[in-house]
Amino acid sequence: MTALADKVALVTGASRGIGRVIADRLEDAGAQVIGLARSFTERSAGPRLEIRCDVTREDDIQRAVERMLHEVRAPDIVVNNAGAFLLKPLSDTSKSEFEEQLRVNLVGPFLVLRALLPHLARSGDTHLVTIGSVVDHRPYPENVAYGASKYGVRGLHEVLAEELRGSGIRLTLVSPGPTDTKLWDSLDPDGRDDLPSRSTMLLPTDVADAVLYAVTRPPHVNVDWIRLMPVG
């Protein structure tokens, strides 16, 4: 598949889980992928440029953007995927835990977008994708910190869409339900009655397919929001 031939895609949190699969899917579709992640070493995996970057640090982001512009060019597609997950009721959530969810899930995407916007083409081919969550529209117990951060991400997406209306830049929010990644390992959902079993969860490929669908629509079509839920 070469639907994204000649496109450059930047994916945050691209070292594992959903982000890794999104990066793979976009690359398979012909895009040149630039991956950002805290766990990357300074190397490239084949044609993919992998840059070590903590999206909560402005200096890291600035260095990553400068390197991307020097070695490749500004991206046509940006996928803000890097995230953290916490499942605790408010009474058990510390201030530092709450702030960490906001830093990674909300401040990170804000900093990435703010650094990139001056360099993005206003051509109708530029697409900003944000990975939200089902909790960005619906509250769930024990999601006070994670839910607050994802509601914020939804607000960031919706306000930026208004600010960029008519600019030629398209925006999509992808809000998946429970997705089977290593983030669930410590929670052992199969051993709890209040969580879905891993066999019933979405797969990272489901989320990646939604991203690919959104960014391969014709320039006159904008997919504003995709909500993905497991059957049942």
Instruction: Please identify every residue annotated as catalytic.
Output: 146
Q: How many CB atoms lie within 10 A of CB 36?
A: 30
d(CA 61, CA 80): 13
In this structure, what token pair is assigned to residue 88? 């605790």
Contact criterion met (CB below 8 Å) for 55 and 61? yes
To the nearest 10°, report the CA torsion of 174, 104, 15, 135. -30
In this structure, what token pair is assigned to residue 107? 């401040």
